């Protein structure tokens, strides 16, 4: 009961801070979002947006990307890091969309995670943000860090953290909640120097209380 009371207070405050929380990736359709999320692994959204502007201009559809020369795709996505693996993943993903789904991005978690380069986190992001389908809470490094600092979860793995959060957060808010924690992790609760003095979640934050005592 205490955990549910805590999460209700945190959700209410986050709704004041980020009422329309959305991803900072730029996309116009589910296909573009899917590819952008794959490229965002260990890369900033700002850099991904710079890369996808060219990528989607030259290869605007799954069929076009699937047929693109691998070397050209590697050159385009190079700034995102791990470019060889990412180029293979996005080309393979596009090809599978054409072969198995008529060029459309599927609307089920099971189908999405069978695509090259797509795990549960990516699938949850795409379903929630592109289709409004609540199948999970995408746990990236920001969601992991902020939820642990707040004391919402003590679990360590993204899978365990997601399971915990899904049990506490109302299902209709799953996508919004993930997006809100991502924004909060980027703007306030940063990895190296969290801005605890200006954080409006500080009253319920285990990390903030400890930082206050030690400071």
Residue 23: count of CB within 10 angstroms of its CB: 21
Q: Which fold has domain 2-20+139-214?
A: Endonuclease Iii, domain 2 (1.10.1670)
Q: Which of 91, 140, 156, 193 is catalytic?
A: 140
The per-residue pLDDT for range 145-154, each reduced to its tens digit, is 999 999 999 8
Average pLDDT value for residue range 13-31 = 97
The per-residue pLDDT for range 5-14, each reduced to its tens digit, is 889 999 999 9
HSE-up of residue 67 (Cα within 13 Å, Cβ side): 9
| 121 among known catalytic residues | yes
Q: Which of residues 31 and 5 earns the better pLDDT score?
A: 31
- Long-range contacts of residues 206-209, Cβ cutoff 8 Å, at least 24 apart: 206/149, 206/150, 206/151, 207/148, 207/149, 207/150, 207/151, 208/149
Comma-separated ranges of CATH 1.10.340.30 domains in the chain: 30-131
Comma-separated ranges of CATH 1.10.1670.10 domains in the chain: 2-20+139-214
> Distance from first CA to last CA of the chain, Å, rounded?
31
Cα distances (angstroms) measured from residue 91 to each of 34, 97, 128, 170, 185: 12, 10, 23, 36, 31
The per-residue pLDDT for range 85-113, each reduced to its tens digit, is 999 999 999 999 999 999 999 999 999 99
Q: Which of 9, 104, 107, 121 is catalytic?
A: 121
Confidence of residue 1 (pLDDT cuts 50, 70, 90): very low
Quick one: what percent of the chain has pLDDT higher than 90? 88
Quick one: what percent of the chain has pLDDT higher than 70? 97
Superfamily of domain 30-131: Hypothetical protein; domain 2 (1.10.340.30)
| 100 among known catalytic residues | no
């Amino acid at each position: 009961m205490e955990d549910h009371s805590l999460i209700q207070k945190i959700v209410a405050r986050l709704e004041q801070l980020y009422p329309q929380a959305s991803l900072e990736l730029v996309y116009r359709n589910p296909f573009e979002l899917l590819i952008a999320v794959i490229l965002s692994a260990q890369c900033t959204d700002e850099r991904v947006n710079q890369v996808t502007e060219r990528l989607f201009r030259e290869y605007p559809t799954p069929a076009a990307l699937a047929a693109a020369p691998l070397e050209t795709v590697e050159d385009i996505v190079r700034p995102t890091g791990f470019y060889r693996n990412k180029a293979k993943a996005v080309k393979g993903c596009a090809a599978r969309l054409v072969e198995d789904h008529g060029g459309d991005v599927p609307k089920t978690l099971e189908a999405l995670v069978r695509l090259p380069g797509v795990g549960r986190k990516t699938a949850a992001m795409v379903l929630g943000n592109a289709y409004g389908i609540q199948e999970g809470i995408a746990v990236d490094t920001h969601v992991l860090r902020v939820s642990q600092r707040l004391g919402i979860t003590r679990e360590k793995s993204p899978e365990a953290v997601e399971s915990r959060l899904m049990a506490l957060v109302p299902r209709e808010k799953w996508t919004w909640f993930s997006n809100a924690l991502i924004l909060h992790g980027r703007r306030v609760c940063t990895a190296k120097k969290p801005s605890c003095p200006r954080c409006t979640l500080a009253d319920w934050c285990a990390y903030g209380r400890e930082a206050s005592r030690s400071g």
